Structure 1
């Protein structure tokens, strides 16, 4: 285990995404505009008309991912993760009327009615990701 300790928190970013906006792309755009390098997501709720995500499919040494697209009315029940060096790494829990899905949020996920997201900037960390020998993007400090 490796531990990173920040000096504190900074700005609170609240995003209100509307119908047709792309979830991950909008977050990336707003983080860049605000100059946010490191943050934690404190909450997100809303509805989606299209969800694009990936999930692991096995237990091999290197991850093997399945990419999934679901196009139907979906509730966004949870969005969790971190922003490292300006790059969001978010996982979500979504559901339709019959199933629940979970996985790593990908580009192309589209808002149905609205999505509200809050992020808390973390100061005093200079983190980035580096692929290790197993092709896993691990956190490191610059």
Structure 2
């Protein structure tokens, strides 16, 4: 009987933690979603340039990862750059991943504010001051990730390395869904 009571108590404690996880699909249609690919847009678009500097950001415990990254980019005056690496850990996460193959694009928003994980990697871009970060996280069971969203809270710390392009490098078209 005592074992049953203990099991019921553990189950009662586990249910609220499980209910924190959420997954929802959203569609963000734009005016350009119905446009076909244009022959005027090349299949491959290249940009060449050199990093003028490397910036390392350190974010502390309980900082929102996306907000802290954004603040660091503004503090350093980074206009165009490449997110090269990251390490650290989180107390919960919020990401989105693509969930279809045609326009308009749909995304699954995946959030679990109670799931701790290590930051395995981060990459992405700073495009004209806007962030486009992707993150990979891992716990003892699996690796997972996606496009970083607000609500990913740092546990121990996060260290992010950004390669900053010189002012003459323009990345505007890199993240442009209409340029197709």
The TM-score bracket by the shorter chain reads: 0.7 to 0.9
TM-score by length of 2: 0.69
Structure 1 stretches of 4+ with a deviation exceeding 6 A read none
Q: Give 1:110 shift.
A: 0.7
Match in the other structure for 1:64: 106
SS in 1 for 2:82: strand
Spell out the pairing of 1:55-134 with structure 2 (5 A cutoff).
Answer: 55-70=97-112, 71-123=114-166, 124-128=168-172, 129-132=175-178
Separation in structure 1 between the aligned mates of residue 142 and residue 81 of structure 2, nearest angstrom: 30
TM-score by length of 1: 0.85
C-alpha root-mean-square deviation of aligned residues, in Å? 1.7
Separation in structure 1 between the aligned mates of residue 169 and residue 105 of structure 2, nearest angstrom: 27
Tell me the alpha carbon deviations over residues 71-115 of structure 1, each in whole angstroms, 9 at most, x when there is no partner. Answer: 211111010111110112111111222232121011121101111
Alignment match of 2:66 (pick from 21, 24, 27) = 24
Match in the other structure for 1:4: 47
Determine which structure has the larger strand proportion and give its number: 1
SS in 2 for 1:48: strand
Separation in structure 1 between the aligned mates of residue 154 and residue 48 of structure 2, nearest angstrom: 34
1:80–1:32: structure 2 CA closer, same or farther, 3 Å change rule? same
State which structure, 1 or 2, has the greater radius of gyration over its C-alpha atoms: 2
| Structure with greater contact order relative to length (CA < 8 Å, sep ≥ 6) | 1
Separation in structure 1 between the aligned mates of residue 176 and residue 85 of structure 2, nearest angstrom: 27
Determine which structure has the larger helix proportion and give its number: 2
Aligned length: 133
